[in-house]
């Protein structure tokens, strides 16, 4: 059974049109992460939530925002997608220490 579920798996948007990606988890982990992964590259951490505390990576563009309304859900909002934002977006969860559990990812295409 999937433990970290991302929706949609595939998202096509137009240049500048806002998009929201969602992540839900059944593990009750207190930490949730959003990674951006471009083709054949390592995942790059955008931000993470430790419980309700939001932690932004220094080089994450302002165009990327996140919300975590409760323990189970986390959203990634891209306010004005550019062509360079086309990527796979990975959600992951964990306890305070230990293994990260990843979702299958949401592939974003920007036209």
Is the CA virtual torsion 8, 88, 35, 64 positive or negative? negative
Task: Give the residue among 54, 50, 46, 57 at the shortest CA–CA distance from 108.
Answer: 46
Q: Is residue 100 a contact residue for other proteins (CB under 8 A)?
A: yes
Q: How many residues bind other proteins (CB under 8 A)?
A: 22
Q: How far apart are CA 104 and CA 89, in angstroms?
A: 9
Q: Which residues contact 10 (CB under 8 A, 6 or more apart)?
A: 106, 107, 109
Q: Is residue 41 a contact residue for other proteins (CB under 8 A)?
A: yes
Q: Is residue 23 a contact residue for other proteins (CB under 8 A)?
A: no
Q: Is residue 86 a contact residue for other proteins (CB under 8 A)?
A: no
Among 1, 28, 42, 59, binds other proteins (CB under 8 A): 42
Residues that bind other proteins (CB under 8 A): 4, 31, 40-43, 45, 48, 50, 90, 92, 94-100, 102-105
């Amino acid at each position: 059974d999937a433990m970290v579920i991302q929706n949609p798996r595939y998202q096509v948007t137009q240049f500048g049109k806002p998009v929201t990606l969602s992540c839900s988890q059944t593990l009750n982990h207190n930490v949730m992460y959003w990674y951006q992964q471009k083709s054949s590259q390592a995942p790059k951490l955008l931000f993470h939530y430790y419980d309700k505390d939001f932690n932004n990576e220094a080089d994450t563009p302002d165009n990327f925002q996140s919300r975590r309304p409760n323990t189970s859900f986390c959203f990634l909002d891209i306010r004005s997608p550019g062509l360079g934002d086309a990527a796979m977006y990975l959600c992951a969860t964990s306890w305070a220490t230990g293994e990260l559990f990843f979702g299958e990812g949401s592939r974003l295409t920007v036209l």
